[in-house]
Structure 1
Amino acid sequence: MSRASRSCVAAAVAVALFNCALPASADDAVQQADEGSLKLTPLGTYDAGEVGSAEIVAFDASTQRLFLVNAQTSTVDILDVRNPSSPTKVTTINTAVLGSPNSVAVRDGVVAVAIQSDPKTDPGHVAFYDTDGVLIKAVQVGALPDMITFTPDGSSVLTANEGEPSGYGAGHVDPEGSVSIVPVPRNSIDWKKLSDSDVRTVTFQQFNGKEAKLRAQGIRIYGPGASVAQDLEPEYITVTEDSRLAYVTLQENNAIAEIDLKTGTVNNLLALGYKDYSELPFTASTYEWNKLPVIGTTVGGQTLHLGGFSGLAFEGTTSDGKLKFITHTDRGPNGEPTGALRPFLLPEFTPRLVRFTLDPATGNFDLLEQILLQQANGQPLTGLPNIVLSTDTNLPYNDEVGVDLFGQPTALDPQGADLEGIAIDQDGSFWMCDEYRPAIYHFSRAGKLIERLIPIGTHAAAGKPVPAPGQAGEYGVEALPAVIAQRRQNRGMEGIAIQNGKVYAFVQSPARNPTTVTNAQLNAMKNVRVVEYDPNTRATRQFLYIMDNPASVSADDTRADKIGDVAAVPGGGFLVVERDDDALPADPIETITKKIYAAKLDGATDISSLGLFTVGGVQKSVDQMTAAELTSVGVVPVKKTLHVDLPSAGYASVQKIEGLAVMNNGQLALINDNDFGVAGIVIDNATGTFTIAPGYVPEKPTLGLLKVPGLDASDRDSAINIRNWPVFGMYQPDSIASFNIGKITYLVTANEGDARDWPGFAEESRVSALTLDPVAFPNAADLQKAGNLGRLNVTKTLGDANGDGLYEKLYTLGGRSFSIWKANGIQVFDSGSDFECITAASNPAFFNASNDDRTFDSRSDNKGPEPEGLAVGTVGERRYAFIGLERTGGVMTYDITNPHVPVFVGYTNNRDFSVDPYNAPAAGDLGPEGLLFIDAKDSPTGLPLLVVANEISGTVTLYKLER
């Protein structure tokens, strides 16, 4: 669709909704996510004053002026940006005599404007002006010139002539799409000679009559009665650095055209294919960390290396595109217990935070720092047991007995920590949990203990003075429920997360409640406790999470009866790892059970005050009950749905998955606890040495990066629900850019999507309105519900291959992503579901809101955030892509220095969702349309700038780019 047409639609909507009362938001903050390695800082904004008045923008370095297309008034505003914090209008170019401007480009003091005629089906014009707005020359080009650009060598101007129809059928006109090549004169004499006859027009007539072949390739030719030349609609152009080739997006056709600019002919049409939204989560890559530092030498002279990672958090990206993580060790290297005796290989080991980076392009790890954890008095923590009451490890509050390699008892450490999870608070401090008590630790950024929270009754059980409520005793502050001290030995708290200012810690396995429950009975139990702790009030609540804990299928199949880790997600939920101890290649994949569930506490029962119930004539605690028994006594557990089956996703080569992090692009990172490579050892207490047990193969710490494809398909499900569906997506790019690495040309596209809706033909339909093939969709009735796929807009032109009226496939519009392709049309990267995941995390209350409303989820049924504008530029030695999201607003930044492994850097949205979209300019920038990168050498500040023109708000904002 042309930009002018979009402006008219937006204006009509604005009038219709202007008087509607929109709900106010409690969140009045302008949304700006962590910018990581490249920060976008708004410098100044120019307000053109109305919808459609700020669409495409161009920059002239010599005059430090911006040229801004204003389709509403048929003008091009000229702005002085020598002071980018205060852009001011110098003058205006009026194009009304020729028509309405759609695009503008500037080079060497010449301003070229693409102008559509009235009616739009007539040939358009390119008008040339000097930088003061004085007309130099105008020539005729194809119908509806929608984008204009200079070739890099400055010899020509190209226009993408979209050639939209007025409609289909009698009385309507459907012009041919084309690309015009206009020579740029070098002197005043040649400018005077320039005429319409000098314009070369590249058409697609050579493909007429080849409709069937093109459709078989995947190129959409579908306008009623249209020839190929009429049906192909050029949208946007990029030109290779040598000015030889142009690549033109054919948005509605889901294709790209390659044009030889010397001959003025089309070399090739590249079909872009379809995104499979039914794709299951998959492991994008795994990385083994092989070079780990020494952490100590045993009394027997054996060297041990860093490992034992039992938690994970993501901390952004570096300036050179590396991923930043923080993990931590558990209590330290130790062997398997013999009865109550737990051998510690390095009894004085200090648990620590471990910061590192991963270069996803090379797989190289860099250890940045080890933060040794300290007690509040500055003394180092150890991983030694806290309390030894007896050798009965089933006794509440009792720990195993620590022994050294000679079998002699170790000291006790009242604050000793077996840390198993990490969450980073807003102030940079760390919340961690451990398995001993279980307990919750709060550490400063420097790793010094702020507070340790333990179960009520700890001091009394150990025969120690009981501190006053809220005060710390020898073991910490008794603020956690007493019942969780009845944890199964060595299975205390395993995962911790922060949601809405509260801390949530998950007990690893079912509690021994009542205390008479045996280990054999615990093996069959499934209910684990989730403790909510409010740091402000010290109030706690408890909920039940039901694990799968399936029965073993073979003799060596370990049960999946443990929580591995948890992570918070937008919207108040959690991701929860349930795991066994099996791993490839030793175990068949069918015996490996490692899953990630999405869980929410909404409606779950607080079980804090519940005791024993009589069910079926037997007294049971809620910890012992089946799901049906819980229902019978009115207890609602935590809701959960399967998010990722890890073996199916390709992450099954490690035994103990104990670190889970949600990255800033919505992807998942996992890391294993390798037990420092000493889980299977044989200890010789006589010599204080150990040997590797037969059959034991020590693991390496292995970081896995998982992608979870999908989309949010409904605006009626009242939830952020990004998941896989049986739907295909057409990429349908709008903007396109290109760059070279060596001799390889790469294309970058913003996959907006667009549908044809003209008199005589409209291609869109809700899924609920289609008749689905019962063989392809046996669950059609469920899929077509409004909260599932029923509301999703799809095209009627694809999916019914045999023409029987039954749809075997569903195709939705747009990719909700950006992609990188080689020049032959092979895709090397797609951002997948990143944009919806990122915006959900940034501002969940307004997820998938549109640019003209603040309604939660309103665009989920129709192209989601709708990436449209695109710019590519180099900052320092790194190349970045900037993608504008037309609907929800803002700019996504990716480091694309390695085009095969782009790294998400940050999301900046200069929109204030607390303000009605029609309260301009207070609402901020709405509807980013055109993006422009200004190189540092041309910038008025000496730093690179990004300029964003916003159609709905009519504003242009200049951003400073800093690394």
Structure 2
Amino acid sequence: MKKLSTSLLIALFIMASCNNDDNANNQEPEAVVNENPATFKEIGSIKIGGEAAAEISAYDEKTKKLFTVNNSGTNQIDVIDISDPTKPTKIGKIDLTPYEGASNSVAVFDGKLAVALESTVNKQGNGKVVVFNTTDLSLIKQITVGALPDMITFSPDGKYIMTANEGEPNTDYSQDPNGSISIIEVANNYAATTLDFASLSGQAATLAKDGFRISKFAKSFAQDIEPEYVTISDDSKTAWVTLQENNGVAKVDLTSKTITAIYPLGFKDFNTADNAIDVSDKDDKITFNPWKVKGMFMPDGISHFTANNTPYFVTANEGDAREYTAYSDIKRMKDMTLDPTVFPDAATLKLETNLGRLNLITDMGDSDGDGDLDELVAFGARSFSIWNGNTGKIVYDSKNDVDKKTQELGTYDDKRSDDKGSEPEAVVAVKMGTQNILFVGLERSDAFMTYDITNPASPQYLQTVKTGDAPEGILFIPASKSPTKRSLLVVSSEGDGTIKIFQPDLK
């Protein structure tokens, strides 16, 4: 038996000595769990299918169940019992075919499961949110939202459900719906308000100067914006939404249901020692060097936390290209025309063992409009970043720590060096004891990383842990809600259809 720490004994003594106010409210006093966030280890695993079988998971405290998106030749939500997280067991499913939609994301609050469905009738048509009872899986409500809802979440108080509606075009761009966000009021019979970005189109030129991107092929500002992921503040009043392909984050006031700001995220300079990257998949080695290249952050996942009464949001800077029949914005550097004055060594740079293989954004970098590139702009920042939630200004970037740490672990995929490296996909910021802890999921390096972000300007690296293939979703279950009364981290990996459960050691 482990010895209880002094702090845990003191906490238990205080609770045992307090009055009966909690008991009068039928609430059990919660014991303090003194865990070491640098010691997460795998304790359980389950495989629910092949590729795309385990994308995103949500946890229901009432039933001790996971609800996991399964698109591996199916169209369903798998129901998994984790009352014993060392032996997760699939016990049922929710068939989604009757709802004419394919699931992209799930969220749970107080016995309600919300599922984001893109239309299987017309992908560019409106999507829907379907709400189920987590106990008997019965249908509660269907709600129409914007086109292609890609992510869904409940506000911390459970009053709102939010979706990020990506609104991607079809392959020939004959249909390109506005990107949007939907805000659903649970207590108001699930009334939905869907907001697009047309009202902010007048800011396009100003935003572009600071690194916000509207593609040259776009028919309109509102159509080109593609919301990806949502995080909502602890007081349920503010949301931050990643606009991945546009290299920005939107701020939303949930009370007034308005988009109050767009934060352009700018560029990352890879031409420094701290930001050095590996750019070739043809050199048969992993080497991190400075290159005269900039990266657009283009975040996928987003999370938030508060430190010293200041809100912050964290982004997973994956990067993403548009590749359609009518328009593609990705091309290898060796196939681009470079300005000979800026790049007098262009012939050498274009070698496949140098920059030649690196994928660039085709409509960025021609600053003087003469048809050749004055700058090389790549997809993603190969990092996570912390931003001030009030101003959108960057506070911290992890530089090249992500790729270097996974190289040390032995999971860095050199075949992705020419693209976006480890591809940070998911971020989850949580509270463990007095510490703010961040988990970062790496889609191409098959791992998650853990940092102490209690000081937002100076995060401390804690550990790197191997996961299944291509982790897509990271779910933190706090000790207070866990079936074991210990913190759990659930990682859903869409590459091999596995769900792995991790738990930290006690201090």
CA offsets, 1:242-274, max 9 Å, x none?
111110000000000001111211111001111
Counterpart for residue 254 of structure 1: 247
Residue 811 (structure 1) aligned to one of 377, 387, 391: 377
Deviation at 1:803, TM superposition (A): 2.4
Q: Return the letter of the residue paired with 2:192.
A: V
CA offsets, 1:861-914, max 9 Å, x none?
01011110121222222221111110120111111111111011110114xxxx
Whether the 8 Å contact between 1:223 and 1:231 is mirrored in structure 2 is: no
| Aligned counterparts of 1:860 and 1:151: Cα–Cα separation in 2 | 37
Counterpart for residue 127 of structure 1: 130
Counterpart for residue 362 of structure 2: 796
SS at match of 1:52: coil
Q: Return the letter of the residue paired with 2:387.
A: W
Residue 881 (structure 1) aligned to one of 426, 429, 438: 438
**Residues 361-760 of structure 1: matches in 2 within 5 Å?**
708-760=274-326
Seen in structure 2, the aligned counterparts of structure 1 residues 75 and 720 have a Cα distance that, compared at 3 Å, is same
**Residues 137-156 of structure 1: matches in 2 within 5 Å?**
137-156=141-160
1:859 is aligned to 2:424: no
Counterpart for residue 117 of structure 1: 119
RMSD after superposition: 1.5
Counterpart for residue 62 of structure 2: 62
CA offsets, 1:647-679, max 9 Å, x none?
xxxxxxxxxxxxxxxxxxxxxxxxxxxxxxxxx
SS at match of 2:246: coil
| Aligned counterparts of 1:202 and 1:770: Cα–Cα separation in 2 | 38
Residue 200 (structure 1) aligned to one of 190, 193, 204: 193
SS at match of 2:97: coil
Counterpart for residue 429 of structure 1: none
Deviation at 1:797, TM superposition (A): 1.2
Q: Which segments of 5 or more consecutive residues in structure 2 lack a partner in the other structure?
A: 1-34
Counterpart for residue 407 of structure 2: 840
CA offsets, 1:745-798, max 9 Å, x none?
000111111000112100011110011101111111111110010000010110
Q: Return the letter of the residue paired with 2:491.
A: V
Q: Return the letter of the residue paired with 2:106.
A: V
Whether the 8 Å contact between 2:164 and 2:230 is mirrored in structure 1 is: yes
| Aligned counterparts of 2:62 and 2:218: Cα–Cα separation in 1 | 49
| Aligned counterparts of 1:872 and 1:887: Cα–Cα separation in 2 | 21
CA offsets, 1:361-381, max 9 Å, x none?
xxxxxxxxxxxxxxxxxxxxx
Counterpart for residue 11 of structure 1: none
SS at match of 2:115: strand
1:822 is aligned to 2:379: no
Deviation at 1:168, TM superposition (A): 4.4
Dislocated runs of 4+, deviation >4 Å:
none
Deviation at 1:77, TM superposition (A): 0.8
Counterpart for residue 10 of structure 2: none
SS at match of 2:416: coil
Deviation at 1:83, TM superposition (A): 0.3
Whether the 8 Å contact between 1:180 and 1:201 is mirrored in structure 2 is: yes
Deviation at 1:743, TM superposition (A): 2.6
Seen in structure 2, the aligned counterparts of structure 1 residues 134 and 36 have a Cα distance that, compared at 3 Å, is closer
Whether the 8 Å contact between 1:209 and 1:227 is mirrored in structure 2 is: no
Deviation at 1:36, TM superposition (A): 8.8
Q: Return the letter of the residue paired with 2:403.
A: E
SS at match of 2:245: coil
1:950 is aligned to 2:493: yes
| Aligned counterparts of 1:847 and 1:892: Cα–Cα separation in 2 | 13
Q: Return the letter of the residue paired with 1:106.
A: V
**Residues 47-126 of structure 1: matches in 2 within 5 Å?**
47-72=47-72, 73-98=74-99, 99-118=101-120, 119-126=122-129
| Aligned counterparts of 1:275 and 1:143: Cα–Cα separation in 2 | 31
Whether the 8 Å contact between 1:36 and 1:906 is mirrored in structure 2 is: no
| Aligned counterparts of 2:325 and 2:177: Cα–Cα separation in 1 | 15
TM-score, scaled to structure 2 = 0.90
Counterpart for residue 893 of structure 1: 450
| Aligned counterparts of 1:784 and 1:102: Cα–Cα separation in 2 | 39
| Aligned counterparts of 1:869 and 1:75: Cα–Cα separation in 2 | 22
Counterpart for residue 606 of structure 1: none
Whether the 8 Å contact between 1:142 and 1:178 is mirrored in structure 2 is: yes
Whether the 8 Å contact between 1:712 and 1:861 is mirrored in structure 2 is: yes
CA offsets, 1:594-647, max 9 Å, x none?
xxxxxxxxxxxxxxxxxxxxxxxxxxxxxxxxxxxxxxxxxxxxxxxxxxxxxx
**Residues 164-313 of structure 1: matches in 2 within 5 Å?**
164-169=168-173, 172-185=174-187, 191=189, 194=190, 198-222=191-215, 224-279=217-272, 281=273
Whether the 8 Å contact between 2:307 and 2:455 is mirrored in structure 1 is: no
Deviation at 1:37, TM superposition (A): 5.9
TM-score, scaled to structure 1 = 0.48
SS at match of 1:154: coil
**Residues 762-781 of structure 1: matches in 2 within 5 Å?**
762-781=328-347
| Aligned counterparts of 1:948 and 1:249: Cα–Cα separation in 2 | 21
Q: Return the letter of the residue paired with 1:933.
A: F
Sequence identity (%): 43
Counterpart for residue 307 of structure 1: none
SS at match of 2:205: helix
| Aligned counterparts of 1:217 and 1:167: Cα–Cα separation in 2 | 29
CA offsets, 1:414-470, max 9 Å, x none?
xxxxxxxxxxxxxxxxxxxxxxxxxxxxxxxxxxxxxxxxxxxxxxxxxxxxxxxxx
Whether the 8 Å contact between 2:478 and 2:486 is mirrored in structure 1 is: yes
Whether the 8 Å contact between 1:36 and 1:905 is mirrored in structure 2 is: no
CA offsets, 1:330-362, max 9 Å, x none?
xxxxxxxxxxxxxxxxxxxxxxxxxxxxxxxxx
Counterpart for residue 29 of structure 2: none
Q: How many residues align?
A: 467
Deviation at 1:223, TM superposition (A): 5.2
1:871 is aligned to 2:438: no
* Higher RCO structure, 1 or 2 (CA under 8 Å, sep 6+): 2
| Aligned counterparts of 1:761 and 1:215: Cα–Cα separation in 2 | 20
Q: Return the letter of the residue paired with 1:940.
A: P
Whether the 8 Å contact between 2:477 and 2:487 is mirrored in structure 1 is: yes
Whether the 8 Å contact between 1:885 and 1:927 is mirrored in structure 2 is: yes
Whether the 8 Å contact between 1:111 and 1:129 is mirrored in structure 2 is: yes
Q: Return the letter of the residue paired with 1:77.
A: D
